[in-house]
Structure 1
Amino acid sequence: MSTLKTAFEMASHSFDDIVKTPKPDLLIYDLNQPWAAAVASSHNIPAVHQSGKEFPFPEIYLHEHEGNKLREALHSSVNDVKEEDRFHEAMERSCNIVLIKTFRTIEDKYINYLSVLVEKKIVPVGPLVQDAVNDEHEEIIKWLDKKDEASAIFVSFGSEYFLSKEEIEEVAHGLELSKVNFIWVVRFPVGEKIKIEEALPERFLERVGERGRILEGWSPQAKILRHPSTGGFPLNARMVEEVGVGIEVVRDKNGRLHREEIAKVIGKVVVENGGEIVRRKASELREKIRIKGEEETVGVVEELVQLCRKV
């Protein structure tokens, strides 16, 4: 911890020298540089925190309005304790507003709720999605090209959640039982040298054959999600179900996933009529987001300009 603190102090001193010269009108910082706000403040420069990833709004909204409940909810969304501390520090040091990667179209009530709790204006900045330039997995797109429209499912649990051995087993068997095409991104913690074949059920890859593809670590997510052959994806389940563009795989009372439930939900989204409803709602929501996207971008600019004028 002392080594980490020393590194932050060194970075802070170096940054102070950098800021002195151009004297910017505004500083935007993320989770990794909470100390940057203090440096900016010493030079009378407004500093704004921008969350670089999706915010756990539903989890926060389900808690009561006390501050300690908010802290508990925020803590539960981050795996690493040190990262928790930096998250809260970065948010608390932000000048009046906080920029967060989301849409008001989807999460308006959560944005308003959080604004009251943290006593700062929460400003959505949209998805900030960039097209991937890495062609390392171009064969995956070619594989999708051969599949029927909306016939494949994309499975990814994000970059910060690692499935246990039991969860990998259940997801694998669920995908096998569903009998639909799938792309599954499997990630292991840094430093753990595990072969995918060893983590999966015996002969799983042989049984699913051409119906499934498994990627380790990185995937061209944006390309996969917008491909016409992709018919579903388990991502931020509670939120997408609430807005009607997905169905959540419900865990049991002990928080465990079960293969039968996974297969059932996949069937509803990709095979049954429920899938057509979900895709129609997703298409409608996409159009709303497209229309509102430019408005939100203009709103962010206006907020930052006003902040600079107040100094």
Structure 2
Amino acid sequence: MARNEEKKLHIVMFPWLAFGHLIPNLELAKLIAKKGHQVSFVSTPRNIDRLPKLPSNLVSFLSFVKLPLPKVDNLPENAEATTDVPYDVVQYLKKAYDALEEPLTSFLESSKADWVFYDFAAFWAGSVASKLGIRSAFYSIYTPPAMGFIGPASVLSGENSLRTKPESLTVAPPWVHFPSTVALRLFEIMKILDTVSDDNESGVSDMYRFRESIQNCDIVVIRGCTEFEPEWFQVLDNIYQKPVLPVGQLVNREFEDEEDTDTWRWVKGWLDNQARGSVVYVAFGSEAKPSQEEVTEIAKGLEKSKVNFFWVLRLRRGAWDPHVLTLPEGFEERTKARGVVWTSWAPQLRILGHVAVGGFLTHSGWTSVVEAVQNEKPLILLTFLADQGLNARVLEEKKMGYSVPRDDRDGSFTGDSVGDSVADSVRLVMFEQEGRIYRDKIKQVKDLFVNTQRQDKYINDLLSFLQFHGNNKHA
């Protein structure tokens, strides 16, 4: 074992083409590279060029491998990530991604890799690695509760009759043997029904991708920590029947690109002029785009709340998105004394770290959650897609966040008039006595997320496992 631990590994990482996936993969890659192991981070040229620059001490250990994205019909030129295209075009992006199987195989053949870490979309990568004598890990950036909820392979394959209707996803499944509210609301399910259908241009459902990814790997590596969600790790152990290794919450301790200093200088200047804890930061990540109805509700809510705000609003998903969001007439003029609507990239980590920010209205994407906890900002939750509803249930259960009230069936906002739900939720979490529990709880859980010794132990334990079992594979 001692000799195994002396061996330096070569790990290939192949994330899905979404920045909500690329960034957590890069964070793990950096932590592995810091231990002196070689990491090849494989993606498309434009995505790699848009990633944060590497610290100089990691350049010799972490290399970027650019595989040109194959052209497919209906996928716009230079569209290489989900952020570049409207939601209904993502199926063509998956089709192009699947066409990377051959170039990835060619790279692996000459790479002398010990392990391949692949994402859910690359359902074929585990089989490719196995044929080449390389160990593989399905690396899930989705949390243990989300993966536990979607379930074992028999359910993902449709062989099990438990989930024949959308309503069956609104309750905790039978393999979760403890009380839990972690489930989807009906309106959240209806938004993502296409992910369970094979009737899309890639020819493969997301459920099939998850099933094959889980079945064809040697181990499952997952973002999360056992101290925060021990019961969900037990669920995964039970349903996967193979090693499940946590890698911690992957807190980003480095600020975004320092190149965009003019942006931060302006934003900081504005925040510096606001009272401590008076600003709600509103942002929904690189993937989620609100509907026009949701934008109107948020805008009216921010106006009614009388709370200062900094709102990062993506008006469209890429240059080919025909649906450009609009704000209510006169909104910016009426709120200009206390609010900003920012329509381009913003330095989220820096903003959340500013003392003027007292709350975060978020989509519940886990990277944003981690950054909020890191900076002790209580959460107001407004979900849109994918696993966000499951993340929100976890945060509600643990009193780390409060969801904007919505009708469970159709997602319509409650309240007597437009904006009431958002306005009431923001004030509750940020200022009212009833919301104090959210402000306190976010501070109490911080150590579970940002403890550097714990994070270091997760990486050391992972590498020890990879060294020992990787060598056995080639023995």
- The verdict on a shared fold, with TM-score over 0.5 as the criterion, is yes
Give the stretch that moved more between structures: 277-286 or 75-84: 75-84
Please, which runs of 5 or more residues in structure 2 have no aligned partner? 1-70, 73-91, 170-183, 365-391
- Which structure 2 residues correspond to residues 73-152 of structure 1 after superposition, within 5 A? 76=189, 82=202, 84=206, 85-95=208-218, 97-128=219-250, 129=252, 131-133=255-257, 135=260, 137-138=263-264, 139-152=266-279
Deviations 1:250-291 (A, max 9, x none): 212421234212111111111223454423321221123233
Establish whether residue 21 from structure 1 lines up as the match of residue 21 from structure 2: no
The 1:145–1:303 alpha-carbon spacing in structure 2 relative to 1, beyond 3 Å, is: farther
1:46 and 2:147 are equivalent in the alignment: no
TM-score by length of 2: 0.56
Against the structure 1 CA distance between its residues 160 and 294, is the aligned structure 2 distance closer, same or farther, given a 3 Å change threshold?
same
How far residue 58 of structure 1 moved from its aligned partner, in angstroms, is 5.1
Q: Of 134, 145, 155, which aligns to 2:282?
A: 155
| 2:349 paired residue number | 222
- Distance change (3 Å), C-alpha of 1:70 and 1:123: farther
1:29 corresponds to which letter in structure 2?
Y
Letter of the structure 1 residue corresponding to residue 339 of structure 2: G
Report what 2:420 is aligned to: 260
Give the letter aligned to residue 256 of structure 1.
S
Is the Cα–Cα contact under 8 Å of residues 147 and 236 in structure 2 kept in the other structure?
no
Indicate which of 322, 325, 328 corresponds to 1:201.
328
Which one is further off, 273-282 or 62-71?
62-71
In structure 2, the partner of 1:278 is 438
Query: Equivalent residue of 2:342, what SS?
Result: strand
1:195 is displaced (CA, Å) by 5.5
Deviation track 1:1-56 (CA, whole Å, cap 9, x = no partner) reads x95799667633333333233422211122454333222211211011213x4438
Aligned length: 307
Amino acid at match of 1:44: G
The 1:118/1:25 distance shift into structure 2, 3 A limit, reads same
**For 2:343 and 2:448, how far apart are their aligned partners in 1?**
34
The structure with the largest helix share of the pair is 1
- Asked whether the equivalents of residues 126 and 296 of structure 1 are also in contact (C-alpha less than 8 Å), the reply is yes
SS at match of 1:17: helix
Matched, 1:189 2:317: yes
Describe the shift of the 1:278–1:9 C-alpha distance in structure 2 as closer, same or farther (beyond 3 A).
Answer: closer
- Aligned residue in 2 for 1:57: 145
Q: Distance in 1 between matches of 2:358 and 2:122?
A: 39
1:289 alignment counterpart: 449
| Partners of 2:327 and 2:226 in 1: CA distance | 39
> Given residue 99 of structure 1, which amino acid in structure 2 is its aligned partner?
V
Preserved contact between residue 154 and residue 234 of structure 1 (Cα < 8 Å): yes
4+ residue runs over 4 A deviation: 2-10, 62-66, 68-83, 193-196
Identity, % of aligned positions: 29
CA distance in 2, matches of 1:298, 1:274: 42
Conserved 8 A contact 2:98-2:122: no
Mapped contact 1:58–1:239 kept (Cα < 8 A): no
